[in-house]
Copies of this chain bind each other. A is one copy, B any other.
Amino acid sequence: MNTIIPHSKHPRIVVIGGGFGGIEFCKKLKNKNYQIVLIDKHNYHTFQPLLYQVATGGLEAESIAFPLRKIFKGQDNLIFRVAKVNKVDTQNNLLHTTIGEIAYDYLVIATGSTSNFFGQENIERNSMPMKSIPEALNLRSIILQNLESALIAPTIEEKNELLNFVVVGGGPTGVETAGALGELKKHVLPNDYPELDLNSVNIFLVEGSDKLLSTMSANSSKKSKEFLEEMGVNVMLNTRVENYDGKTLFLIDQQPIHSATVIWSAGVKGVILDGFSSDSITRGNRLIVDGTSKVKGYSNVYAIGDVAAMILDDYPNGHPGVAQVAIQQGKNLAKLFATHTLNSSTIFKYNDKGSMATVGRNRAVVDLNKIRFQGIFAWFTWMFVHLMTLAGFRNKLVVFVNWVWSYISYDRGTRLIIRSYDKKTRNVNTH
């Protein structure tokens, strides 16, 4: 029946998603007696922490993407397929995918998360998300297209609309994106657009709560705001978004902002496939899993990373949606498979190594277990950790070259509208 996957005498684990969790899980089962089938809609792994640099013209997309086939080179028990899963039939242990049906003995959901617009369709239709490489490239095109359009805008209103950039959400992605836009304004625009009055270019960071980086230390929250303001970003705390029509961002109890570019980083939700019982789904559209990553209500289905909500005493809302959680959960689950201890009562223990965010040149915040620091040393730490965790030597080198180059030249080399994006039709120009 399943001619699209070769037969194997070993039990088959199908893993959906080649993110941090999925690849860690697969790698750790090398040479084990399982047939592992990895499915992803892309043929590459995305290093999500640097998406914002692709979107703001600092890095080429190819430097933060890594071919999945290359990661598993020589891993004989792994089959990779590019496909999108339409539906899970948990009764018959079967996936319905864009390339046909795929049966499984065990299923590991590692589909990650996507932008959460909290049901606000207007905002979803008109703002720019940044959770995948194509989305980051669309955003890059839109930012640059708007700058070009501003030069020839027929009215001052339209011009201002094109030159106001709003980032919604003060988490790490929002802070980093706003910071990168600040650098673009300060170092690139004066050279590239001498015709533009820089005072009319405004960058806003809108956050609903009373602080940025709310999962980090109070000092990091405070410092990141200071850094952003030094870089000319208007940080608006305690500000909630009401609606966005593509031209005007309406705020609750505040003046609206006229802007053609609203970047949405205000929340994520799990990517859950059709076919799961609503009993197994909790807040943030995540699958409820036990301490071994097993999904509630199913005997052979597991979930790891952003899509999983592992409610434990010390994590009553599940773990944070970061790469380290996905990696550690993937490793842990692989170990349970490898040692045939899936039914043990061992509970996953998250080793929180800390968190960090960069705001701009020489400006970052780092919270480790015991130490917290901000500024230039934090910035170098941030760069070092990101370089080291990036997959592949070639990618490390290309990113390193770009960063050194940007540091010396104050430049962002990839400010290219490679395929122009039409927000209305959501199409990309292919010529």
Contact = CB atoms under 8 A, between A and B. Distances in A.
Interface of A: 3-4, 6, 42-44, 60-63, 65, 67, 69-70, 73-74, 76, 79, 81-82, 99-100, 132-135, 137-138, 144-145, 148, 151-152, 154, 191-195, 392-395, 397-398, 401-402, 405, 409, 411, 413-419, 421, 426-431
27 contacts: A4-B152, A42-B416, A43-B148, A61-B418, A62-B413, A62-B414, A65-B416, A69-B191, A69-B415, A70-B415, A73-B191, A73-B192, A74-B191, A81-B148, A81-B151, A99-B152, A134-B418, A134-B429, A135-B430, A137-B419, A393-B405, A394-B402, A394-B411, A397-B405, A419-B419, A426-B430, A428-B428
Nearest to A43: B417
A82 B419 contact: no
Contacts of A428: 419, 427-428, 430
A interface secondary structure, majority: mixed
Contact of A62 (B60, B76, B397, B427): B60
A430 B138 contact: yes
**Copies of this chain, count:** 2
A401 to B, nearest CB: 5
B394 A405 contact: yes
A69 B192 contact: yes
A414 to B, nearest CB: 4
A387 B340 CA distance: 54
A44 B134 contact: no
B398 A60 contact: yes
Given A62-B418, A133-B418, A417-B43, A69 B193 contact: yes
A398 B394 contact: no
Contact of A134 (B401, B413, B431): B431
B73 A43 contact: no
Nearest to A67: B415
A35 B360 CA distance: 37
B65 A63 contact: no
Nearest to A114: B431
Contacts of A67: 192, 413, 415-416
